[in-house]
Amino acid sequence: MSAMYDRLADLLVDRFEVDRAEIGPDTKFEDLDMDSLFLVELLLVIQSEFKVDIAEDAASPGDTIAAVAGLIARASAPAATATTSERA
């Protein structure tokens, strides 16, 4: 999997005490008994930890961990491009 997926999995284990054995790319947040309120909290933590701007309603309990990792990667891509452009 991607580095972003690994970071998200680590965040779920370290900050939210999810059992790593329950985490997989196709695991849905609802499979982990995580509701929409949890996802709002998770997305706020992601904004802080990953330094990305993601709307609080960007994910739903039916989304997979891999889908949210992709969301984070897309949100962080413009920042990486801008940083690279600024150095040129």
Could you tell me which of 87, 77, 27 has the C-alpha nearest to residue 51?
Answer: 77
Which residues form the catalytic set?
A: 35
Residue 68 structure tokens: 């949210």
| Cα torsion angle, 19, 62, 77, 80, sign | negative
- pTM for the full model? 0.81
Residue 84 and residue 88: Cα distance in Å, rounded? 7
Share of the chain above pLDDT 70, in %: 86
Q: Is the pLDDT of residue 64 over 90?
A: yes
Mean of the per-residue pLDDT values of the chain:
88
Residue written as tokens 């940083």?
A: 83
pLDDT higher for 22 or 87? Answer: 22
